[in-house]
Structure 1
Amino acid sequence: MNSDPDPFEQGERAARQNIPVEANPYQDGSEQHSLWAAGHEKIAGAREANESEDT
């Protein structure tokens, strides 16, 4: 089992906790930075889509 944290899952978790995308802890331009941002966008984007449907 891999004990290294998954940046994508960390990004998803951050979005669920309303942590802004600017809080990405990885070096800009790195693969981990991209994965974290993608995970964050997956959750944040879905949340924003749901909010726009409610209005």
Structure 2
Amino acid sequence: MFPPVFGGFRKAATDIEYGGYIIPKGWQIFWVTSMTHMDNNIFPEPSKFDPSRFENQ
């Protein structure tokens, strides 16, 4: 499954360091929703269809 929206832009509110790189305040960052949804640290077994994972939300 893939989300209906591929991604979106966000603007850095402050200078941030990510992965050893500095992202300056004001730069636009593209966020890919499908990568967030497939992150095992956030969703265990992300490729498994499991509606019950959202029951308590």
Normalising by the smaller structure, the TM-score range is under 0.3
Going by fraction, where is helix more abundant, 1 or 2? Answer: 1
TM-score in terms of structure 2 length: 0.21
Pick the structure with greater CA Rg: 2
TM-score w.r.t. the length of structure 1 is: 0.21
> Whose strand fraction is larger, Structure 1's or Structure 2's?
2
Greater relative contact order (Cα < 8 A, sep 6+): 1
